[in-house]
Amino acid sequence: MTRSFPETLAAAVVARGCPLVVGFDPRPQRLPQTFTRGASLPDAVTRFYRRVIDLIRDLVPCIKPQIAFFEAMGHEGFRAYEQTCAYARENGLLVIGDVKRGDIGSTAEAYARAHFAHADALTLHPLLGTDSVEPFLAYCRDAGKGVFVLVRTSNPSATEFQDLRCGDRTLSEHLADAVDRWGRSASPQGDYSAVGAVVGATWPDELGRLRARMPRAWILLPGVGAQGAKVEDLASAFDAHGLGGLVTVSRAATECFEPQDAAWEDKIVAAVAGLRSSTARLGTGDLR
């Protein structure tokens, strides 16, 4: 029997002792010079992330490659994305494909088929409604996959639409209710469902309110580090066992050095280890 995504994710978080997700957002100007000399950009990116995976695979449960940065390199960039995802999974890391897809009918089915081939979970836009999400939910039910639905994004102008009131609720609250509903459809059993949510760590005052509307959702929390959010403000996403939330960090983990710095490996390990320690204490459950 295929293990459900929430079961797999919880086991990985407990095994690594933290709920930290390292984002992979390849920026050519930030790669170590040792990889960029005499190499094509996609090859340099692939080799860099293979080494990063070697360094962090025992420290964190998940990586989150942002596909836009790979797609910007053309078809060879997509190959780099495929190879990076494959290498991470070979080394025991879960992959959250940050693809933010959202469409209907056969197009949604094609997106789900294409991207679940490389990732354990995907990020989704939900504004086209239930029929745009259903093809992805089928993979949650039948193949042990997961999704993270955008509910409250981390960017400042999220308020333009997500704060709009639709009846007695804001748009974000409607989306949170939908996440809970979809989760009960995809995962009727268990403490957590395969349908998670993206809630920006930059909105800590709203986090508890949205968590209350989707008690069975794993919450992906972007915004710590470069966007200014603080780890200590995120406790309301977590349960008594230190589960239920995932703190995502990209630049603070993989761009914590200058390209010419010979000690870049040590700096990545130190940065991830520090973030690992701080996130392990979230909630009332200490995962250390």
Residue 286 lies inside a defined structural domain of this protein: no
The predicted pLDDT at position 1 comes to 65
Q: Tell me: pLDDT of 287 over 70.
A: no
Query: What is the C-alpha separation between 210 and 147, in angstroms, rounded?
Result: 17
| Count of domains for the chain | 1
Query: What is the C-alpha separation between 207 and 110, in angstroms, rounded?
Result: 33
**Taking residues 115-122, what's their average pLDDT?**
98
**Which residue shows structure tokens 């999704």?**
147
The predicted pLDDT at position 284 comes to 46
Query: What is the C-alpha separation between 38 and 200, in angstroms, rounded?
Result: 39
Residue 285 lies inside a defined structural domain of this protein: no
Query: What is the C-alpha separation between 56 and 109, in angstroms, rounded?
Result: 33
Look up the domain containing 118 and give its range. 5-279
- pLDDT bucket at 136, cuts 50 / 70 / 90: very high
Chain centroid to CA 228: 18
Average pLDDT along the chain: 94
Amino acid occupying residue 81: Y
Q: Tell me: pLDDT of 138 over 60.
A: yes
Q: Is 194 exposed, middle or buried (0-12, 13-18, 19+ CB in 10 A)?
A: buried
Query: What is the C-alpha separation between 213 and 89, in angstroms, rounded?
Result: 32
Residue 16 lies inside a defined structural domain of this protein: yes
The predicted pLDDT at position 227 comes to 75
**Which residue shows structure tokens 């989306």?**
175
Q: What is the pLDDT of residues 63-93, one digit of tens each?
A: 999 999 999 999 999 999 999 999 999 999 9
Q: What is the pLDDT of residues 210-264, one digit of tens each?
A: 999 999 999 999 988 777 778 888 999 999 889 999 999 999 999 999 999 999 9
145 is catalytic: no
What percent of the chain has pLDDT above 90? 87
Residue 10 lies inside a defined structural domain of this protein: yes
Cβ within 8 Å of residue 127, ≥6 positions away: 102
Given a contact cutoff of 8 angstroms between Cβ atoms, the answer to whether 110 and 73 are in contact is no
Given a contact cutoff of 8 angstroms between Cβ atoms, the answer to whether 128 and 104 are in contact is yes
- The dihedral region occupied by 125, where left means phi > 0, alpha psi between -120 and 50, and beta the remainder, is beta
Residue 288 lies inside a defined structural domain of this protein: no
> Where residue 19 sits, what CATH number does that domain have?
3.20.20.70
Residue 110 lies inside a defined structural domain of this protein: yes
User: Kind of pairing, strands 146-152 and 195-199?
Assistant: parallel
Q: What is the pLDDT of residues 151-207, one digit of tens each?
A: 999 999 999 999 999 999 999 999 999 999 999 999 999 999 999 999 999 999 999
Catalytic residue among 100, 145, 230, 267: 100
Residue 35 lies inside a defined structural domain of this protein: yes
**Taking residues 125-135, what's their average pLDDT?**
96
Q: Tell me: pLDDT of 283 over 70.
A: no
**Backbone phi, psi, residue 116, to 5°:** -70, -15
The predicted pLDDT at position 100 comes to 97
Report helix, strand or coil for 239.
Answer: coil
Residue 243 lies inside a defined structural domain of this protein: yes
- Segment holding 158, helix H or strand E: none
- pLDDT bucket at 110, cuts 50 / 70 / 90: very high
pTM of the model: 0.96
